[in-house]
Amino acid sequence: MLVCHALNASHHVAGFYQNQPENLGWWDNLVGPGKPLDTQRFFVVGSNYLGSCFGSTGPASINPANGKPWGADFPVVTVEDWVETQARLADHLGIDTFAAVIGGSLGAMQALQWTLSYPQRVRHALVIAAAAKLSPQNIAFNEVARQAIMTDPDFHGGHYYDKGVVPTRGLRIARMIGHITYLSGEAMAEKFGRLLRRKTLGFDFDIDFEVESYLRYQGDKFSTYFDANTYLRITKALDYFDPAGDFDGNLSAALARAQAQFLVVSFKSDWRFPPARSREVVRALLDNRRIVSYLEIDAPGGHDAFLLEDPRYHAALRSYFATIDL
């Protein structure tokens, strides 16, 4: 079983390292012994995508040609590239066919791409909180995030590693924008309301509302561990993904190659990749008479719902995994 990660995660899918018991994997609620994706039944592979800052070669890695970090010279990579690297990893591990490839959001794009790049090597694809291509609105959000990074004076055209600085301000803003799109309006209202951080309105530009404090905290945290060049590249990978692009925009024609059985899951409160986008994928699969089930879960979490523990969502995945023959 191959688990593909989304924007800011890594190969660390579940569990924790011995010396960091509080640092749980990003899908720990789903993956593990006795969990819906039961590691006592499945051998689970989590790989870190090319261009990342968590292990695989990325912009911060050393370019052997000049002994310096790649920085801006690191190429823009695509979802197809990631699937290619994962296939080579599978070769290396001696895995001919995956029982399933699963992912949410950008991870779901990889799961979908797997069924197109290697139709014979994936039996089931679990495509969660997905879109077959980004909408102009999605691209617009990504562009604002990229502009925030690239206009940070510490960005230095992407060659900031040897200058001893990090475009922290840009990364913070990029993350804050991203975070707004991951949560539903409803989830934000429930979590923060209009609660004030201080006793009364300050009539200045310090933090008034809890939601501001939350966004700043998320932005600050992110800017300490994530690489700006990586962020630029993954948002481009998202923007570029469009399997129907080579087929005059006809997704049904694009998915004709797929052989896998599909489970497509969307969340009603997700406005970044709303259910209508998942239904486009389902419709294209139906046009090709593929085996597919589709769930539209009424969970409040927004796009991030795919990472959260909703009983219906997890029950459905658990049931689906149980039907996969080994």
Q: Does the protein bind other proteins through residue 316 (CB under 8 A)?
A: yes
Q: Does the protein bind other proteins through residue 287 (CB under 8 A)?
A: yes
Cα(320)–Cα(258) distance, integer angstroms: 19
Active site residue 105: yes
* Residue nearer to other proteins on the CB measure, 229 or 278: 278
Cα(258)–Cα(68) distance, integer angstroms: 41
Q: Does the protein bind other proteins through residue 112 (CB under 8 A)?
A: no
Cα(61)–Cα(63) distance, integer angstroms: 6
* Residue nearer to other proteins on the CB measure, 156 or 314: 314
Q: Answer whether 285's CB lies under 8 Å from 258's CB.
A: yes
User: Which of 111, 292, 305, 307 touches other proteins by CB under 8 A?
Assistant: 292
The stretches of the chain forming alpha helices (DSSP H) are 79-93, 106-117, 136-150, 168-182, 185-192, 210-225, 228-240, 251-254, 275-287, 311-323
**How many chain residues interact with other proteins (CB under 8 A)?**
22
User: Which of 137, 151, 250, 319 touches other proteins by CB under 8 A?
Assistant: 319
How many CB atoms neighbour CB 151 within 10 A?
Answer: 12
Reading the block at residue 51, the tokens are: 């261009």
* Residue nearer to other proteins on the CB measure, 77 or 131: 131
* Residue nearer to other proteins on the CB measure, 102 or 145: 102
Out of 105, 117, 223, 278, which one is annotated catalytic?
105
Out of 152, 208, 227, 270, which one is annotated catalytic?
270
| Binding residues vs other proteins (CB under 8 A) | 263, 279, 282-283, 286-287, 289, 291-298, 312, 315-316, 319-320, 322-323
Catalytic residues: 105, 270, 303
